Structure 1
Amino acid sequence: MSLILDESFDYFYNQEGFGPQINSTPVPESIVEAYRGKLPDALLTYWKAMGWAGFGNGLLWLVDPREYANVLNAWIHGTDFYSKDRYHVFARGAFGNLYVWGERTGPSLHINAPNSMIFPSDKSAAMARGEADLLLQTWFVVCDKDAFDKDDGDDKPLFERAVTLLGRPGPEDMFGFVPALALGGPRRLDHVQKVNAVEHLMFLAQIHPPRVMLDIVKEAKSRGLM
């Protein structure tokens, strides 16, 4: 890309091969400013430079948090997270994983929607030190394509084969398992369909209560291991 936004994003975009962006939607300045102080300035800079867009041929998407507000509410309602912070979905994977920013807790929730799991990682201490941009940039640095892909029952990645079979997902699309994994569906390519992301994520939120997994960092600190 001609504009290197920062070293972290350059690594994500060029070295890890998530560039170029696809299906970019410009973000109105009014929306950028509406999220000022709620999301990291670094993320707002990415929005202004590239818009809401797909990366890695549609493997990962930077998204409009407003479009996923109801989805997020459906996933965290009834959990301790619901009243703990004000959260915003800032990125989504091709198979429906949601990456969530808390205004006080930072990049603190990863919702693995296909498997009905929520992985917490409270970053309140770093946020209190004013390290929101650093946390966001670190999130991009450690992005790995394998982490956003989904394996089939034989532990073989599905994304590229799904793209070949069904076409590249667009901004409103995701690859969903039909029937859903939570309903006993198999992890097989012939059970993957291209579906509307918001509709399918709402459906997944309703069919099985999410399991909240252990916050490994918090647990390690409580045991005096960090």
Structure 2
Amino acid sequence: MAFKMDERFEWFLEQFGKPNKHESVSEETLTHFRGKLPDRLLEYWEEYGFCSFKDGLFFIVNPLAYQSTMETWLEDRGIMEEDTYHVIARTGFGDLLLWGEKNGNNYTIEPRRGVIFKKGGDAKRIANGKADEALAGFFAIKSPKSSNLKDVDTDKPIFEQAVEKFGTLAPDEMFTFVPAPFAGGEQTFATVDKVDLFVQLDILAQFSNREIQDIHGLTKLAFGG
């Protein structure tokens, strides 16, 4: 059956541009995730493969490749007991975007901050058989700006400067800050390095608190109280 574009993913592509396919998705992988992840996501996989956008600013990924890393970050946090989660996308700075089979995009792992950020999720729509609609909403709110990070000293976006210095990101690479902000480093272009994605994520998981944080926690950090 021919791929049919939907308005929300069309909007996503207008923001991020044409994807670079890194890996075609096998029938075995599609069969493995059918009934676990939204059908619409599998259709994107069939059409575009596992791919990157804007030199690696955003990736649509194979969850199987990230399973071990995700489990390292979520271990002993009670999250894996509440739902079955899969990494479906990530940013060039190593943020892992999780999709729960019951809850949707309820968590994002943010390695530079050493936290697991809890969102509202989409349990109600998924329970009502609208997982594809929830997934469309996931992509609709993504933008190059929200996937990028700003230099705390200059307020300028960091990713484009990093690509100019280090080159486009490969599927197994990420940009990181040395040292990581949670370890006393600063989120500046001056501290950026290009590193092996999985090695770096495992290192950051070992040295961070892996605290579960939500919007209320961010507000408290920003304004006190």
Residue aligning to 2:174: 174
Q: CA deviation at 1:42?
A: 0.6
Residue aligning to 1:214: 214
1:64-96 deviations in whole A, cap 9, x for unaligned?
111111111111111121211111000000001
Conserved 8 A contact 2:21-2:48: no
Report the AA paired with residue 213 of structure 1.
Answer: Q
| Distance (Å, rounded) in 2 between the aligned partners of 1:183 and 1:109 | 22
Residue aligning to 1:160: 160
| Distance (Å, rounded) in 2 between the aligned partners of 1:4 and 1:191 | 43
Residue aligning to 2:79: 81
| Distance (Å, rounded) in 2 between the aligned partners of 1:72 and 1:36 | 20
Q: CA deviation at 1:180?
A: 1.7
Which ranges of 4 or more aligned residues in structure 1 deviate by more than 4 Å?
A: none
Residue aligning to 2:135: 136
Q: CA deviation at 1:54?
A: 0.1
Q: CA deviation at 1:162?
A: 0.4
| Distance (Å, rounded) in 2 between the aligned partners of 1:164 and 1:59 | 13
1:129-185 deviations in whole A, cap 9, x for unaligned?
011101111111111111111111222210000000110111111101112222212
Conserved 8 A contact 1:23-1:170: no
- Structure 2 unaligned segments of length 5 or more: list them: 217-225
Conserved 8 A contact 1:105-1:127: yes
Residue aligning to 2:219: none
| Distance (Å, rounded) in 2 between the aligned partners of 1:58 and 1:5 | 23
What's the secondary structure of 2:83's corresponding residue?
coil
Q: Note if 1:42 corresponds to 2:43.
A: no
**When the two structures are aligned, how many residues end up with a matched partner?**
212
Report the AA paired with residue 188 of structure 1.
Answer: T
Conserved 8 A contact 2:98-2:108: yes
What's the secondary structure of 2:55's corresponding residue?
coil
Conserved 8 A contact 2:21-2:49: no
Report the AA paired with residue 44 of structure 1.
Answer: L
Q: CA deviation at 1:190?
A: 2.4
- Structure 1 unaligned segments of length 5 or more: list them: 217-226
Identity %: 35
| Distance (Å, rounded) in 1 between the aligned partners of 2:134 and 2:53 | 20
1:124 to 1:99, Cα distance in 2 relative to 1, 3 A: same
| Distance (Å, rounded) in 2 between the aligned partners of 1:203 and 1:88 | 20
Report the AA paired with residue 117 of structure 1.
Answer: V
Task: Calculate the TM-score normalised by the size of structure 2.
Answer: 0.90
| Distance (Å, rounded) in 1 between the aligned partners of 2:89 and 2:13 | 15
Q: CA deviation at 1:57?
A: 2.5
Residue aligning to 1:97: 95
| Distance (Å, rounded) in 2 between the aligned partners of 1:207 and 1:7 | 42
| Superposed counterparts of 1:55-66, under 5 Å | 55-66=53-64
Q: CA deviation at 1:215?
A: 6.3
